């Protein structure tokens, strides 16, 4: 197990953190009843063991982003960010998130394709991880206004570990014309 990822976990229960951590989760949907799917996902996240949703921002709408860039012809996304207080280890939380996506019709057929539900683990406390299954903080969060904007609405003092204050990251994106 990644040494930094293992910090804060007990030896006899490596899937449970010793103390609760704040996880930041981005939620998005561009297929089906987007509002309903995001609401159901928030309920599912709140029902996870040893976890509770501590807050969620009002959803915003954004253009779809594909491997080749923004796609104005694709269905628009509804995006939000939630803060989850959890004792689940990051990899366990990620597994639950992927199960929630699947339960709500997510099919992983095309990278960055249209989807009923997309849940991304943006940050987990100040944990840093770079493994085949989990990169923390999320490697593209600092470049995504549809993540930073609702996160800032949820927490005016938010910090993306290793990147800086969310308000400053968002201001930089807007100044560069990326918003």
Whether 100 maps to a domain, the answer reads: yes
34, 83, 87, 118: which one is catalytic?
A: 118
CA distance 142 to 136: 12
Residue 40 sits in a domain whose CATH number is 3.30.70.560
Whether 119 maps to a domain, the answer reads: yes
Whether 178 maps to a domain, the answer reads: no
Whether 152 maps to a domain, the answer reads: no
Which pTM value belongs to this model? 0.86
- Per the structure, the count of domains in the chain is 1
| CA nearest to 111, candidates 68, 75, 142 | 68
**Number of neighbouring beta carbons within 10 Å of residue 58:** 8
Q: Is 106 part of the annotated catalytic residue set? A: yes
Contact 169, 163 (CB under 8 A): yes
Q: Is 144 part of the annotated catalytic residue set? A: no
* Per-residue pLDDT tens digits for 64-103: 988 888 888 899 999 999 999 999 999 999 999 999 999 9
* Per-residue pLDDT tens digits for 120-177: 999 999 999 999 999 999 999 999 999 999 999 999 999 999 999 999 999 999 999 8
Q: Is 44 part of the annotated catalytic residue set? A: no
22, 46, 120, 126: which one is catalytic?
A: 120
Q: Is 156 part of the annotated catalytic residue set? A: no
87, 106, 142, 144: which one is catalytic?
A: 106
Whether 144 maps to a domain, the answer reads: no
115, 142, 144, 155: which one is catalytic?
A: 115
Whether 97 maps to a domain, the answer reads: yes
Domain range for 115: 3-139
């Amino acid at each position: 197990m990644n040494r930094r990822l293992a910090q804060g976990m007990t030896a006899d229960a490596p899937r449970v953190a010793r103390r609760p951590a704040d996880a930041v989760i981005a939620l998005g949907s561009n297929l089906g009843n987007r509002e309903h799917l995001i609401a159901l996902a928030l309920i599912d996240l709140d029902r996870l063991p040893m976890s509770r949703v501590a807050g969620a921002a009002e959803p915003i709408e954004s253009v779809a982003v594909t491997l080749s860039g923004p796609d104005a012809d694709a269905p628009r996304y509804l995006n939000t960010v939630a803060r989850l207080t959890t004792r689940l280890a990051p990899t366990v939380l990620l597994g639950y998130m992927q199960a929630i996506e699947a339960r709500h019709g997510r099919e992983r057929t095309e990278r960055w394709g249209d989807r009923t539900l997309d849940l991304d683990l943006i940050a987990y406390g100040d944990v840093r991880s770079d493994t085949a299954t989990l990169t923390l903080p999320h490697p593209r969060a600092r470049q995504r206004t549809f993540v930073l904007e609702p996160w800032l609405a949820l927490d005016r003092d938010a910090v993306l570990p290793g990147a800086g204050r969310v308000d400053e990251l968002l201001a930089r994106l807007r100044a560069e014309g990326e918003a």
